[in-house]
Amino acid sequence: MSFSASTFSGVKFHFEYVPLKLKNYTKLFTWSERKDWKMLDIGSGPGQLLLEVLSILPSNYKEIVCVDKELDMVNHLNTVNKDSRISCRQLNIETEALPADLKGRFDFAFSSNCLMYLQNYRQVFSNVHEMLKPKGELFFIWGKICPIHEIYHKLSRSDKWSIYLEDFVDWKSYFNNESSVDLLERICKSANLNILKVEELNDLVIEYDDLQSHMDIFDSLDHISGRIPESDLSEYKKDYHKLAMTYLTVEKIDNKQKKVKLHFPSVVLAARKS
């Protein structure tokens, strides 16, 4: 079971801050000096976010290739109404066997909220370096924590769910307690990428008036529930939601109104191939 494209396509919590950040970063990039501009979108998902940022990108782009590990996402994106210069294909960005036709192909690599699901950053950044043209650039934005995988890690330690979650026993969010800036400086250096700007968004909060909106997002991102037998699914969901609740804070504004918040510290990185 993978991320569900149909449920995730309704998730819009990042439709404001991701395009806003990209817009603020455009002055760092040399888009206008480059001919036949080609972009790679890593972990595109159902593609809605890409469509949101499209107006910020050079309108005369030559191609945008969207890649995602999950076939469900690729198939979904194939059905979305979009410019004929946008194509999509399946690719695990952590692969050790990068397809030859992707090497040295792109002027720009973009990724929104994908890297927090990954563990092997050295491989990812080395792959991105290989796929970029000389002096190619990147803009990545993603969470410093991965609540979904942290929940799986916790469930993997329970008697009931451990057999379904063996691959999460050793999971830990990449940044853990280390400074994300220091870590990214080291990773980029070893991948021959020069950092243009790195920024921590430690105060980023996803806020709704109700709990259900948050739970809908947690449900849409629950990509292992297909492993759970039907007869145990409601009990699994109860435990999953209970752990999801530990990431939320409920603030009462007055007696009637409330705000439900998820603290989602994130990081933004812009870099150029040396």
Would you tell me which residues interact with ligand SAM (CB under 6 A)? 3, 14, 43-45, 49, 67-70, 73, 92-94, 112-114, 117-118
In the complex, minimum distance from the CB of residue 206 to ligand SAM, in angstroms, rounded to a whole number: 13
For ligand SAM, the closer CB: 8 or 161? 8
User: Tokens representing 89?
Assistant: 């294909």
In the complex, minimum distance from the CB of residue 48 to ligand SAM, in angstroms, rounded to a whole number: 6
For ligand SAM, the closer CB: 94 or 239? 94
In the complex, minimum distance from the CB of residue 173 to ligand SAM, in angstroms, rounded to a whole number: 14
In the complex, minimum distance from the CB of residue 170 to ligand SAM, in angstroms, rounded to a whole number: 16
For ligand SAM, the closer CB: 14 or 214? 14
For ligand SAM, the closer CB: 34 or 220? 220
In the complex, minimum distance from the CB of residue 249 to ligand SAM, in angstroms, rounded to a whole number: 22
Would you state the torsion angle of the CA atoms of residues 78, 83, 89, 92, taken in this order, to the nearest 10 degrees?
A: -110
For ligand SAM, the closer CB: 2 or 190? 2
Would you state the torsion angle of the CA atoms of residues 67, 70, 76, 82, taken in this order, to the nearest 10 degrees?
A: -10
In the complex, minimum distance from the CB of residue 96 to ligand SAM, in angstroms, rounded to a whole number: 12
For ligand SAM, the closer CB: 120 or 259? 120
In the complex, which residue's CB is closest to ligand SAM? 45
